[in-house]
Amino acid sequence: VGAGRKTKADDVTGRLWVEKGEGRIGLIAEVAPTIHVHRTYSYAVPDELANQVSVGRQVIVPIGRRGRPVTGFVVAIDRGTWDSTLRPLQNLAGGAEGLAPELVALGQELSAHYGSRLGTTLKAMAPEAVRRERGLKTVRWVRLTGRNESDSVTDRPPGAKARSVLEALQAAQGSMPVRELLAQCKVSASVIHTLVRKGRIEVVARKMPAEMDIRAGSPVEPSFSLTAEQRQAVENLSGRIDRREFAAVLLFGVSGSGKTEVYIHAIQHVLKAGRQAILLVPEIMLTTQLLQRISSRLPRVAVSHSGLSESQRAVLWRRAAAGVDQVIVGTRSAVFAPCPDLGLIIVDEEQEGSYKNLREPRFHVRDAAWMRARRRNIPLILGSATPSLETWHRSQRDPSVGTIVLRHRVLELPMPTVHVVDMRDECLEKGENVVLSRVLIRLLSESLDRNEQAMILMNRRGFAHRVYCPGCNTRLSCPNCNVGLVMHSASGTSLCHYCRTRMPTPTVCPNSTCGSKLVHHGAGTQKVEELLRGRFPKARMQRVDSDTMKHRDQYQSIIDQFADRRLDVLIGTQMIAKGLDFPAVSFVGIVDAEATGLAADFRAHERLFQLVTQTAGRAGRADTPGRVVVQTMSPHLPALRYALRHDYESFASQELGLREGIGWPPVRQLARIVLSHTREEQVRQAAESLCVQVRTLIGEKEFGAVEILGPQPCVLSRLRGRYRYDLLLRASQAAILQSLVQRLNDARLLRCKGGSIMLDVDPVSLV
DNA sequence: AGCACGCCGACT
DNA sequence: GTCGGCGTGCTC
């Protein structure tokens, strides 16, 4: 390698050529660029950057023949000998903090498990605002210059207003923000201008970290005395925290068994040692009651939610990194909070599907938390009343996974009684489609008569789910997706719940040769609301679904009204099934248990069990005995039978048996590849040729145990105008799947020309 | 992702 | 005989 081989292209790229035989020793940075590549690249670190470049920092590096500058993350630094192909990294980028090396290592583990690109993965772990060094807002400050009035004899002495400004500044040690000064002295900006002109004061811009809204004023809740079960749980966890011992602990407790109290005591133990804790929740909006309890009982709690501005997010991040905020509560991204001495991670409602990230990197928060806790040697609490079968399965066969069961409801509350109503009988007797059974109406009416509250769950939004023509037997469906349009609000529009296409609902069949009047079936929340308002005109009702609850504040206001007994009935989707605790609710009705999508995938029965159990848990808190009605077309489903006996363990072992028999997770591991293209023929061919390539790969070596299922059209075979095919890879061990995925990435097989491709390891949905 | 190289048809 | 279509492959 030498000057003789130097080409024109190399002049353009500015490569650092080293003459033949000449080596240079220096720092070499391994960089994961945030572009579409599955590997890292090495760069020489220029001397002037040597002491600023560290693992986790963002840098600008030249890529490609033209040396196009792209950002990337430094993932390793070594001292070594440059060779002639090594280019220098161009510059630093982003905030000075970068990602802590601990988080870079976590990112590498995530990237390996999920087959996501390392650069993209690391990028997702730090908030955009921190990467771009935002979150510092410029505040104008007024400062006394120190010159007094005698300097300019010609000026008149300052008036009363000006004097008050000067006095306020004296009192504030000579400087304060302009806004504050104006507000405090009740003067206009002209007073400031005059004093500036006289040279008494000056205005300077300062970069300040933006202020966070600190959640305040929540009532201080008394500390409950722990039950024997809870105390034992807390002692167990405290011991592990002190010993810096990794352990995943399933905290399995029915609703009302006091899991939150265990969280609080465990966090208090962490805080006493001056360390930090992360509490992950599925969705902030649906967690207000938990948040109120946490923030009223613990100091310095920071809450990360989607409503935060970019700069607030950056401030939160910095305060977490500085250890100022010791408890970080948040959804998915909070699992990456840069706490310097993390002592505990809690995943509340660990079974929630919303913990799975839907974009690359498609990680599951429970598993990311598991990896992080293992790296830091700290305990991980997985809290649930209905654990995911993944977690349950692990707790059963892995002795290092602890299980703490809270068997008793705190006040020894009785479990609610559950009635299952077979809607087929109901419809037969009535001779028509019935939405609300007589039992449901009767029990609801009894509750209202006794001045108690009720919740009615309908896990589908809208008014009607099937709008069709009886003449030519066609269904009103989305032009871009192969799903039916959902009619919203009795008169108005129909919309697609997948691509949000919206159109006026036609009254007659759009097929010109037919022209029959359209009919609609399949009730949603709007229909249920209409029926209940007609039946109980005096009851104060509110519908709670994503159509009525556009904002966090709206939701909070409804929850407050319901808690204050200014509402009698909540009608809603699973939004009302989770995490709410209202002592006066004595009746819960589930209008259509199958609305969880029984045909959708292998987790359907698990979701049904969870929904019924969680919803039933809303009924009969305090001293009001609860009653629950579950309406269904399939009353004999095991999931329902076990749910109405509140028997999780039997359900789990039965369902695990089934999954084992047909080889689904958690007994086996899955990876899903989805190809999509505007033309069906193209995507079918791409999926088939990918399948052939994968087959040759698994035929050859250590992947013998991997099975391929498919390719086949997805359940949702067309979405947003694109045809979709999928391919499932199935293995008995995660490690085998992981190395196969790595091979696919290395060989760059995951491509769909003209279309796009998606890899999803441990998919939560197979739609 | 972007950018270059390469192998096909349309035009000077 | 050259210009430019985009399909394919690579980026320290």
Question: Which helix (H) or strand (E) is A369 found in, with range?
Answer: helix A365-376
Distance from C-alpha of A468 to C-alpha of A451, rounded to nearest angstrom: 41
Cβ neighbourhood burial of A268 (10 Å; 0-12, 13-18, 19+) = middle
Over chain A, what is the mean pLDDT? Answer: 84
Provide the 3-class DSSP secondary structure of residue A109.
helix
**Structure tokens belonging to residue A128:** 């955009």
The 10s digit of each residue's pLDDT in A100-122 is: 999 999 999 999 999 999 999 99
pLDDT-derived band at A83, boundaries 50, 70, 90: low
Q: Are strands A41-44 and A24-33 parallel, antiparallel or unpaired?
A: antiparallel
Q: How far is the CA of A756 from the C1' of C2 (A)?
A: 35
Distance from C-alpha of A652 to C-alpha of A553, rounded to nearest angstrom: 37
Secondary structure E strands in A489-590:
493-495, 502-504, 519-523, 541-544, 569-572, 585-590
Asked if A762 contacts A367 with a C-beta cutoff of 8 angstroms, the reply is yes
Ranges A34-38, A446-450, A460-464, A512-516: which has the least confidence = A512-516
Query: What pLDDT is stored for residue A726 in this prediction?
Result: 94
In the predicted structure, residue A18 carries a pLDDT above the cut 80? no
DSSP secondary-structure letter at A151?
G
Asked if A258 contacts A334 with a C-beta cutoff of 8 angstroms, the reply is no
Tokens 């009894």, residue located = A446
Query: What pLDDT is stored for residue A124 in this prediction?
Result: 92
Determine if strand C comes within 7 Å of the CB of A64: yes
Q: How far is the CA of A77 from the C1' of B12 (A)?
A: 57
Q: How far is the CA of A37 from the C1' of C10 (A)?
A: 10
> Mean pLDDT across the stretch A68-94?
86
- Looking at the DSSP bridge assignments, the partners of residue A34 are none
Query: What pLDDT is stored for residue A70 in this prediction?
Result: 92
Distance from C-alpha of A148 to C-alpha of A158, rounded to nearest angstrom: 11
The 10s digit of each residue's pLDDT in A256-276 is: 778 888 999 999 999 999 999
Distance from C-alpha of A654 to C-alpha of A658, rounded to nearest angstrom: 7
pLDDT-derived band at A206, boundaries 50, 70, 90: low
In the predicted structure, residue A646 carries a pLDDT above the cut 90? no
Determine if strand C comes within 7 Å of the CB of A14: no
Q: Are strands A486-487 and A669-677 parallel, antiparallel or unpaired?
A: unpaired
**Structure tokens belonging to residue A641:** 């039978």
Q: How far is the CA of A753 from the C1' of B9 (A)?
A: 22
Say which nucleotide is closest to residue A36, CA to C1' distance.
B1
The 10s digit of each residue's pLDDT in A694-707 is: 888 887 767 778 99
Asked if A27 contacts A9 with a C-beta cutoff of 8 angstroms, the reply is no
**Structure tokens belonging to residue A125:** 């772990």
Tokens 């772990």, residue located = A125
Asked if A414 contacts A625 with a C-beta cutoff of 8 angstroms, the reply is yes
In the predicted structure, residue A552 carries a pLDDT above the cut 80? no
In the predicted structure, residue A150 carries a pLDDT above the cut 80? no
Query: What pLDDT is stored for residue A355 in this prediction?
Result: 96
Query: What pLDDT is stored for residue A4 in this prediction?
Result: 32
Determine if strand C comes within 7 Å of the CB of A634: no
pLDDT-derived band at A650, boundaries 50, 70, 90: very high
HSE of A537, CA atoms in CB hemisphere, 13 A? 1
Determine if strand B comes within 7 Å of the CB of A35: yes
Distance from C-alpha of A692 to C-alpha of A651, rounded to nearest angstrom: 39
Determine if strand C comes within 7 Å of the CB of A69: no
Distance from C-alpha of A515 to C-alpha of A518, rounded to nearest angstrom: 9
CB atoms within 10 A of CB A182: 16
Q: How far is the CA of A722 from the C1' of B9 (A)?
A: 30
Say which nucleotide is closest to residue A63, CA to C1' distance.
C11
Q: How far is the CA of A752 from the C1' of B6 (A)?
A: 21
Determine if strand C comes within 7 Å of the CB of A63: yes
Ranges A167-181, A218-232, A347-361: which has the least confidence = A218-232
Percent of chain A with pLDDT over 70: 89
Distance from C-alpha of A420 to C-alpha of A608, rounded to nearest angstrom: 14
Give the global pTM: 0.85
pLDDT-derived band at A228, boundaries 50, 70, 90: confident
Distance from C-alpha of A440 to C-alpha of A450, rounded to nearest angstrom: 16
Say which nucleotide is closest to residue A15, CA to C1' distance.
C12
Query: What pLDDT is stored for residue A246 in this prediction?
Result: 94
Cβ neighbourhood burial of A581 (10 Å; 0-12, 13-18, 19+) = middle
HSE of A130, CA atoms in CB hemisphere, 13 A? 26
pLDDT-derived band at A45, boundaries 50, 70, 90: very high
Q: How far is the CA of A214 from the C1' of C4 (A)?
A: 61
Cβ neighbourhood burial of A696 (10 Å; 0-12, 13-18, 19+) = exposed
Closest alpha carbon to A745 in A117, A119, A124: A117
Determine if strand C comes within 7 Å of the CB of A679: no
pLDDT-derived band at A216, boundaries 50, 70, 90: very low
Q: How far is the CA of A15 from the C1' of C1 (A)?
A: 37
Asked if A130 contacts A97 with a C-beta cutoff of 8 angstroms, the reply is yes
Closest alpha carbon to A628 in A641, A639, A613, A642: A613
Asked if A317 contacts A132 with a C-beta cutoff of 8 angstroms, the reply is no
The 10s digit of each residue's pLDDT in A64-76 is: 888 889 999 999 9
> Mean pLDDT across the stretch A198-216?
62
In chain A, the N- to C-terminal Cα span, in Å, equals 54
State which of A370-379, A463-472, A517-526, A749-758 shows the largest mean pLDDT.
Answer: A370-379
CB atoms within 10 A of CB A19: 11
Query: What pLDDT is stored for residue A11 in this prediction?
Result: 43
Q: Are strands A464-469 and A519-523 parallel, antiparallel or unpaired?
A: antiparallel
Contacts of A425 (CB under 8 A, 6+ apart): none
Tokens 């419809």, residue located = A427
Amino acid letter, A421: V
Q: Which of residues 160-189 of A touch strand B (CB under 7 A)?
A: none
Distance from C-alpha of A574 to C-alpha of A567, rounded to nearest angstrom: 18
In the predicted structure, residue A609 carries a pLDDT above the cut 80? yes
Cα four-point dihedral sign A230, A236, A239, A240: negative
> Mean pLDDT across the stretch A582-587?
83
In the predicted structure, residue A522 carries a pLDDT above the cut 80? yes
Determine if strand B comes within 7 Å of the CB of A66: yes
In the predicted structure, residue A175 carries a pLDDT above the cut 50? yes
Determine if strand C comes within 7 Å of the CB of A89: no
Percent of chain A with pLDDT over 90: 37
pLDDT-derived band at A131, boundaries 50, 70, 90: low
Distance from C-alpha of A415 to C-alpha of A668, rounded to nearest angstrom: 34
Say which nucleotide is closest to residue A44, CA to C1' distance.
C12
Question: Which helix (H) or strand (E) is A392 found in, with range?
Answer: helix A389-397
Closest alpha carbon to A95 in A51, A121, A56: A56
Determine if strand B comes within 7 Å of the CB of A64: yes
Ranges A49-53, A248-252, A416-420: which has the least confidence = A416-420
The 10s digit of each residue's pLDDT in A677-690 is: 888 888 888 898 88
Determine if strand C comes within 7 Å of the CB of A86: yes
Asked if A752 contacts A683 with a C-beta cutoff of 8 angstroms, the reply is yes
Q: What phi, psi does A200 have (nearest 5°)?
A: -80, -35
Longest distance between any two alpha carbons in chain A, whole Å? 102
Determine if strand B comes within 7 Å of the CB of A752: no
Determine if strand B comes within 7 Å of the CB of A37: yes
State which of A20-29, A344-353, A466-475 shows the largest mean pLDDT.
Answer: A344-353
Distance from C-alpha of A502 to C-alpha of A487, rounded to nearest angstrom: 10
Say which nucleotide is closest to residue A37, CA to C1' distance.
C11
Chain centroid to CA A579? 16
Determine if strand B comes within 7 Å of the CB of A751: no
HSE of A188, CA atoms in CB hemisphere, 13 A? 1
pLDDT-derived band at A24, boundaries 50, 70, 90: confident
> Mean pLDDT across the stretch A383-410?
90
Say which nucleotide is closest to residue A68, CA to C1' distance.
B2
Peptide bond into A479 cis (omega under 30): no
Query: What pLDDT is stored for residue A273 in this prediction?
Result: 93
- Among all protein residues, pick the one whose CA is nearest to the C1' atom of C6: A754
> Mean pLDDT across the stretch A658-671?
94
pLDDT-derived band at A598, boundaries 50, 70, 90: low
Query: What burial letters (b/e) apply to A127-153, b meaning 16+ CB within 10 Å?
Result: bebbbeebbbeebebbebeeeeeeeee
Tokens 């739609």, residue located = A767
Query: What pLDDT is stored for residue A148 in this prediction?
Result: 67
Tokens 């990360």, residue located = A304
Q: Are strands A276-280 and A342-348 parallel, antiparallel or unpaired?
A: parallel
Query: What pLDDT is stored for residue A377 in this prediction?
Result: 95
> Mean pLDDT across the stretch A357-367?
95
Angle, CA of A633, A639 and A644, to the nearest 5°? 90
Question: Which helix (H) or strand (E) is A131 found in, with range?
Answer: helix A128-131
Nucleotides in C strand less than 7 A from protein CB: 7-8, 10-12
**Structure tokens belonging to residue A584:** 């006066």
Question: What are the CA-CA distances from residue A45 to residues A11, A22, A78, A410, A739 (Å)?
Answer: 19, 18, 10, 60, 32
- Looking at the DSSP bridge assignments, the partners of residue A571 are A456, A543
